[in-house]
């Protein structure tokens, strides 16, 4: 049956069926020089998934950042957007200093780590999620979501590293705990170790059941639930 011939009741969404998954998997980046962009994103250490070239009229290149479920594509005749017009592209990391150091080691020009100036949206800096005035250094309270570093590709498309160690409640599936890389897992273990040290100070004794405590802490930290004490 064609959609045009379906009745209103047949087209009505049945909530009992559940929500259809819609996974964001590709973002298009407008560039002026495909080979130059390809070399830049290769230099970042991103995985090259595809480079399809039909010749004169069409080419598409796809890269995926380490640990990401979303890829980028760029090429020839894949978007009408002006080269360099993609801004505010966020890359989430668990350790902002380590991520910045890695990019510097790869020869990428990247800003100093910065945090916001209390939600100032009329400042002189490039706009981003938390304002338009950047203060040098990590967030002094070490809060998730609040420490950044920025860089641009050769066309000026703008990227932001954002440090997140603890998600706000409701932002991930609480039944699933995953880590994008061994580095992310190691960082989570170090945070759990530091918190467990404070736990042992509070109870005044060594906690032999530390594996269960670590596991509870790491699951709660990622899901945004209350952390164990």
pLDDT tens, residue by residue, 123-133: 999 999 999 99
Determine contact, residues 73/62, Cβ cutoff 8 Å: yes
Q: Tell me what the mean pLDDT of segment 5-33 comes to.
A: 75
- pLDDT at residue 172 greater than cutoff 80: no
* pLDDT mean over 11-24: 69
- 96-109 mean pLDDT: 97
Residue 3: the pLDDT is: 53
HSE value, Cβ hemisphere, 13 Å, CA-based, for 39: 6
Among 98, 92, 96, smallest CA distance to 115 is for 96
In 3D, which of 26, 34, 23, 38 has the Cα closest to residue 73? 26
Output the six-digit token pair for 135: 């203060």
Q: Are 108 and 98 in contact (CB under 8 A)?
A: no
Task: Count Cβ neighbours within 10 Å for each residue of 6-31 and write b for 16 or more, e otherwise.
Answer: eeeeeeeeeeeeeeeeeeeeeeebbb
Is the Cβ–Cβ distance between 46 and 63 less than 8 Å?
A: yes
What distance in Å separates the CA atoms of residue 50 and residue 74, rounded to the nearest whole number? 11
pLDDT at 182: 82
The three-class DSSP label of residue 120 is coil
pTM of the model: 0.72
Is 113 in a helix, a strand, or coil? coil
Helices vs strands, H then E, count in the chain: 5, 9
């Amino acid at each position: 049956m064609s959609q045009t011939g379906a009745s209103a009741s047949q087209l009505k969404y049945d909530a009992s069926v559940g929500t259809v998954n819609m996974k964001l998997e590709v973002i298009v980046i407008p560039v002026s020089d495909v080979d130059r962009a390809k070399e830049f994103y290769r230099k970042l250490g991103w995985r090259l998934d595809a480079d399809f070239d039909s010749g004169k009229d069409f080419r598409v290149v796809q890269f995926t950042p380490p640990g990401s479920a979303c890829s980028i594509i760029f090429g020839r005749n894949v978007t009408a957007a002006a080269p360099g017009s993609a801004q505010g592209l966020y890359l989430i990391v668990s350790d902002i200093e380590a991520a910045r150091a890695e990019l510097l080691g790869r020869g990428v020009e990247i800003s100093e780590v910065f945090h916001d100036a209390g939600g100032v949206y009329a400042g002189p800096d490039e706009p981003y999620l938390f304002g338009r005035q950047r203060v040098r250094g990590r967030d002094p309270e070490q809060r998730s979501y609040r420490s950044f570093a920025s860089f641009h590709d050769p066309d000026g498309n703008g990227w932001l590293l954002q440090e997140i160690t603890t998600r706000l409640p409701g932002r991930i599936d609480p039944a699933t705990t995953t880590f994008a890389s061994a580095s992310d897992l190691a960082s989570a273990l170090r945070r759990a170790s530091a918190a467990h040290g404070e736990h042992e100070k509070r109870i005044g004794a060594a906690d032999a059941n530390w594996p269960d405590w670590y596991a509870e802490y790491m699951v709660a930290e990622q899901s945004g639930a209350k952390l164990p004490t």
